[in-house]
Amino acid sequence: MINYNFKNKVVLVTGSSRGIGKEIASCFLKSGAIVVMTGRKITTNSNLKNQLKNYKNMFVLYDIDFKNLEEITKLYEFIFKKFKTLNILVNNAGETLVKKATDININEYDNLFNINIKSLFFLSSSFAKNIMRQKNKGVIVNISSQVAHVGGPLRSIYSASKGAVNSLTRSLALEWASKKIRVVAVSPTFTKTEMMKNSSKNIEFKKMIKTIPAGRPATVNEIASAVLYLSSDEAEIITGEVLRVDGGYSIK
């Protein structure tokens, strides 16, 4: 990974107790940032605390369920009281659903859209309001998915929610560009997380990997590296873009 300098920057990474979110948070910490990491019971994750022990006083773990929009207000109140500012928001928290479209019920539909797009929108809106109030610069990086571009069987509402993330990214980028707020997205392919490693011998998993033209899944570090680049001053002219980190999946 390139050695970026995020010293004195405050970063919020949602859904960062494991997988891609944890790697993104870890890479920001390695680059000198102060990182607020969120998850549903993340404060009781002793394994995570042990992994981050070398970054004492540089990170904060915060329990939150983003389906409750009132908790977003409390999260921002906490961040601005403790750190006085927030420079970068990474909207990584999300859920997936692999199911036949004809079998999906209204509760599953609402649950997925509430976390994947509704909470992302209000997290971004609250972030922008605070940036404008402080007359500061800010960056929002949304984590999308390869299926947002081409769809996928059994992933109808998941791909639709991520398509909405891409559309929202472009619209907010246009609306906030003059306010010095950049909004971008990273669209990963199947990524080698701990959960995926445990499925590596599964026949369905092997079929899934064969759909990637590059012939392999992405690594969490490859996704995190894309996020850090887009968050950095080197990418200051880039806004409204959705960077595909998908091994050619969405152009095959």
Q: What is the CATH number of the domain that holds 85?
A: 3.40.50.720
The predicted model scores a pTM of 0.94
Domain count, the chain: 1
pLDDT score for 2: 77
Is-contact 66 40, C-beta < 8 A? Answer: no
> What would the mean pLDDT of 132-150 be, rounded to a whole number?
96
pLDDT over threshold 80, residue 195: no
Judged against a pLDDT cut of 90, whether residue 25 lies above it is answered with: yes
Rounded average pLDDT over 32-38: 98
Domain with 181, as residue range(s), is 10-245
- Residues identified as active-site: 158
List C-alpha distances in Å: 129 to 73, 228, 239. 12, 23, 18
Give the CA distances from residue 44 to residues 39, 50, 62, 125, 196, in Å, rounded to whole numbers and listed in that order.
10, 11, 10, 29, 23
Asked if the structure places residue 251 within a domain, the reply is no
Q: Is residue 2 part of a domain?
A: no
pLDDT band at 204 (very low <50, low <70, confident <90, very high): low
Compute the distance between CA of residue 19 and CA of residue 202 in angstroms, rounded to an integer. 19
User: At a CB cut-off of 8 Å and minimum separation 6, what does 212 contact?
Assistant: 189, 190, 246, 247, 248, 249
Whether residue 70 has pLDDT greater than 80 = yes
Flag whether pLDDT at 27 surpasses 80.
yes
Residue 13: closest CA among 3, 5, 23 = 23
% pLDDT > 90, the chain: 83
Does position 197 have pLDDT exceeding 70, yes or no? no
Q: What is the pLDDT of residue 4?
A: 94
On the question of pLDDT at 252 being above 80, the answer is: no
Residue 205 in domain = yes
205 versus 126: the higher-pLDDT residue is: 126
Inside any domain, residue 23: yes
pLDDT over 60 at 199, yes or no = no
Strand partners, 188: 245
Tell me the residue ranges of DSSP E strands in the chain.
10-13, 34-39, 59-63, 88-91, 138-143, 181-188, 191-192, 218-219, 242-245
Q: Is the pLDDT of residue 157 over 60?
A: yes
The pLDDT of residue 17: 95
Rounded-to-integer distance, Cα 93 and Cα 14, Å: 5
198 has a pLDDT exceeding 80: no
Residue 4: inside a domain, yes or no? Answer: no
pLDDT at 196: 61
In a domain, 1, yes or no: no
- Position 212 in a domain: yes
**Dihedral of the alpha carbons of 24, 28, 29, 33, in degrees to the nearest 10:** -140
**Any domain includes 95:** yes
Give the pLDDT of residue 202. 62
Distance separating alpha carbons of residues 107 and 97, to the nearest angstrom: 12
**Nearest residue to 233 (alpha-carbon basis) of 179, 195, 186, 182:** 182
Can you say whether the dihedral through the CA atoms of 220, 221, 224, 225 is positive or negative? negative
Please report which confidence band the pLDDT of residue 55 belongs to, taking 50, 70 and 90 as the band edges: very high
**pLDDT for 84 beyond 70:** yes
Residue 137 structure tokens: 């610069």
What's the CA gap between 66 and 123, in Å, rounded?
9
Q: Supply 248's token pair.
A: 């050619």
